[in-house]
Amino acid sequence: MSGSGKSVAIRLLEDAGYYCVDNLPARFLPEVCAFLETGGHRDVALSVDSRSETSLTEAPAMVEALRAAGHDVRVLFLTASSPALVQRYSETRRRHPLSMREQPQGQEETLSEAIERERELLAPMADLAHVIDTSELHPNTLRQWVRQFADVPPAVLVLAFESFAFKQGVPVAADFVFDVRNLPNPHYEPALRPLTGRDEPVRAYLEAVPAARAMLDDITGFITKWLPSYVADNRHYLTVAIGCTGGRHRSVYLVEELARRFHRERAVLVRHRALEGAQG
């Protein structure tokens, strides 16, 4: 049903590696599946809606033919109550697909009438599908249910640790920002000033500071606690930005140590804004 969460489902499957075709006329199901198979696409998601109209009655036979040919075909039908759909269209101010077609003068459909006509048109598909009613469903719950229906494995989240200098501004794309300017600054040690947080003398200097160790443990604990909820939310990237004054010592050291702690259990990226900018 239009407005029942199709875009949420399609985006999830696309992110999971499916080749997705949206608004496919039902009569092209066999041809498109055959074409995509010859192109090496094994995981395919095809979205069919009420604009197919007359060919929808042929869809059940097409699905059975694909199954008979050896394909694992799963049909998911998303629906919602008429009041819920009316409310969603009112909030987005979009027109219903069936209301866009020209009607004889004086026979224009109301939104409620278009929804009911669509419900009748899609009845053949609903009868052969697993039905999810999204009337009171949160988008995150719908994503989880679609993932389970399609046997999509959990999203692989890449954890990015990024050091930066506050004097150059906070990175816009950061999900979490930690300020470590309260830690002793190796910049004021003449022998350490030309070095960076990657160098052993700077690491030894900061490791000897109890506050630096505590800060590292606290940030590690925070990320460890909240990371599973971001994985469950289908996030693919999470950026943790660590900032100090110049972006060369304290923030670099913490980023390197955090990456070292997390790399065994997760894909990790390391970026140093101030260092890479100086090198470039």
| DSSP E strand stretches across 96-157 | 130-133
Tracing tokens 């100090």 back to the chain, one arrives at 244
pLDDT above 80: residue 280: no
pTM over 0.85: no
Rounded to whole angstroms, the Cα distance separating 280 from 200 reads 23
Which of 68-82, 83-97, 242-256 is the most confident on average? 242-256
Query: Is CATH 3.40.50.300 correct for 6-149?
Result: yes
Sequence spans of domains, the chain? 6-149, 158-279
| Residue 268 φ then ψ, to 5° | -130, 140
Quick one: pLDDT band at residue 56, thresholds 50, 70, 90? Answer: confident
User: 125-176 pLDDT, tens per residue?
Assistant: 888 899 999 999 999 889 889 989 998 887 778 999 999 999 999 998 899 9
Our CA dihedral for 138, 143, 147, 150, rounded to 10 degrees, sits at 100
User: 82-93 pLDDT, tens per residue?
Assistant: 999 999 988 888
Q: What is the pLDDT of residue 27?
A: 84
Q: Spell out the SS3 assignment of 182-204.
A: CCCCHHHCCCCCCCCCCCHHHHH
Tracing tokens 């092209």 back to the chain, one arrives at 28
Average pLDDT, the chain: 89
Rounded to whole angstroms, the Cα distance separating 242 from 208 reads 19
DSSP label at residue 20: E
